[in-house]
Amino acid sequence: MPVKSPLKSVSEWGNRLLLLVNTVLFGLALWFVCTRGLQSAPQGFSYQDLVTILLTAIAVILAAVTVFVALTALWGYTALKESAKIAAEQVARDIAEETAKSTAADAARALTMRELPGMVQLYLSTSGASGGDAPEDELAAELKRGGNDDPAR
């Protein structure tokens, strides 16, 4: 099952929000120009007023950027948490699968080594093999040794 990236949905949502904000601002600017026209500033407008307006605009922009950074940080934390959860689940699944296969192989090997001598004895007793230095003695010695062809073991 493909994992849906949270980046794509947030990006689409952000683009739509930005389009809406820009459309509203354009409409307000158009309304202002249409109702008041393009005229010069009133005669009582001084540099102190200009500096006050600019500082207020900078404060408002800084507050908006701060809110945007905070929302982006929350979104980033959520996305990071989700991707870490998905990655951890995948790693855990892989390790559990590997461990289960290893455990099953070890259990099957132990069961085989425990039951095989009795099965060989049963087979040899029903097949009517003769006693003495028969192949079952070699097989029993091999099974007691561990059934490994490696002489170092």
- Number of structural domains in the chain: 1
Does position 6 have pLDDT exceeding 80, yes or no?
Answer: no
Is residue 3 assigned to a domain?
Answer: no
Question: How far is it, in rounded angstroms, from Cα 34 to Cα 47?
Answer: 27
Q: In percent, how much of the chain has pLDDT > 70?
A: 75
Question: How far is it, in rounded angstroms, from Cα 106 to Cα 112?
Answer: 10
Helix pair 47-127, 6-36: axis angle to 10 deg? 160
| Residue 153, pLDDT score | 42
Is residue 53 assigned to a domain?
Answer: yes
Is residue 140 assigned to a domain?
Answer: no
Question: How far is it, in rounded angstroms, from Cα 89 to Cα 119?
Answer: 43
| Residue 26, pLDDT score | 93
Q: Domain span at residue 63?
A: 46-129
Q: How confident is residue 65, by pLDDT bands cut at 50, 70 and 90?
A: very high
Q: How confident is residue 112, by pLDDT bands cut at 50, 70 and 90?
A: confident
| Residue 32, pLDDT score | 86
pTM over 0.85: no
CA-closest candidate to residue 2, choices 88, 91, 86 = 86
Q: Looking at this protein, which amino acid is placed at residue 145?
A: R
| Residue 113, pLDDT score | 83
Does position 38 have pLDDT exceeding 70, yes or no?
Answer: yes
129's CB contacts (< 8 A; 6+ apart) are 135, 136
